Amino acid sequence: MKIAVSTLVVGERFEKLFEKFCLRSWEHYCRSHKYELFVFRKPFAVLEGKSFAWQKLLLLEQPELTGFDKIIWLDADIIIARNAPPLEVPAGKLGCVLETPFTGSIESWYRLFSLPPTREIVQTGVLALEAAHRPIMQQALAYPETGMYEMPALSWCISQAGVTYQLDRRFNALLGTLMLDYAPRWMVTNKLVKETLWQLHYPPLRRAVADVCTQNWFIHAAGAKRDLSKASQYLAHLDASNARTAPHSP
């Protein structure tokens, strides 16, 4: 089976962040599982009135990805742990991690974006796609911009299509969300407060990073540069520690 791993990184700032914190882990993952890596560096098209996140809806239009059985999309702020297993999805299905609504119910979550309720909420940072899913992506393009970018529209279209295959949550561990198990929401969601706590080496945030990185495979910073940096540092420390304790051949 031919499998591609893909993302889109545009602009010097984002390229530097991706190459510094993420790229090496992606290359290791692809080598380990014989996947082919595609890092696109130019927008796929001009999408009037849409934020950059909507570009992923054009992924399946790219000729470089023709002939692949599965095309894995990853947001470019994800670090992959060295022990991450292959991402396996049955033929015809669209692999994704489902999200718990912060509003309390799926219906109320979709209502925020003027969408009717559907069965589930898809976290769109990690998607295992096939060429046959192209109409779903095209359908989502017709919806307007939202405060959560493309996610509500794409989530709704995927769920309505009835093709979801629920991935293990470790394939899309949202660091900022999981931190809420360690610190109050007002600390985690206020950028200034959170940055101050990082500078003070606040123990709960440090424990959150350690636990999330140890217990998950794809660590998703969701746009938070400091979270990305901290996760990268911890994973590097973990890799070095594992290397020191690994048995050596005589």
Percent of the chain with pLDDT over 70: 98
Closest CA to 73 of 147, 21, 24, 6: 6
In single-letter form, the type of residue at position 54 comes to W
Using DSSP bridges, classify how beta strands 122-129 and 3-8 pair: parallel, antiparallel or unpaired.
unpaired
Whether the predicted pLDDT of 249 surpasses 60: no
- Which H or E run includes 67? none
Q: What is the mean pLDDT of the chain?
A: 95
Give the pLDDT band of residue 244 (cuts 50, 70, 90). confident
The whole-angstrom separation of Cα 129 and Cα 71 is 5
pLDDT digits (tens, 9 = 90+) for 15-50: 999 999 999 999 999 999 999 999 999 999 999 999
Q: Do 80 and 26 contact (CB within 8 A), yes or no?
A: yes
Q: Do 217 and 81 contact (CB within 8 A), yes or no?
A: yes
The whole-angstrom separation of Cα 56 and Cα 6 is 10
- Which H or E run includes 206? helix 203-215
Query: Going from the N-terminus, what domains does the chain have, and what CATH number goes with each?
Result: 3-170 (3.90.550.10), 173-245 (no CATH)
What average pLDDT does the segment 204-230 reach? 95
The whole-angstrom separation of Cα 216 and Cα 11 is 29
Using DSSP bridges, classify how beta strands 218-220 and 122-129 pair: parallel, antiparallel or unpaired.
unpaired
List alpha helices for 120-190, DSSP H. Answer: 134-140, 151-161, 175-178, 185-189
Burial of 47 from C-beta contacts in 10 A (0-12 / 13-18 / 19+) = middle
**Apex 74 CA angle, 72 and 77, nearest 5:** 165
pLDDT at 239: 87
pLDDT digits (tens, 9 = 90+) for 55-111: 999 999 999 999 999 999 999 999 999 999 999 999 999 999 999 999 999 999 999
What average pLDDT does the segment 141-154 reach? 96
Least confident of 188-197, 199-208, 240-249: 240-249
pLDDT at 211: 97
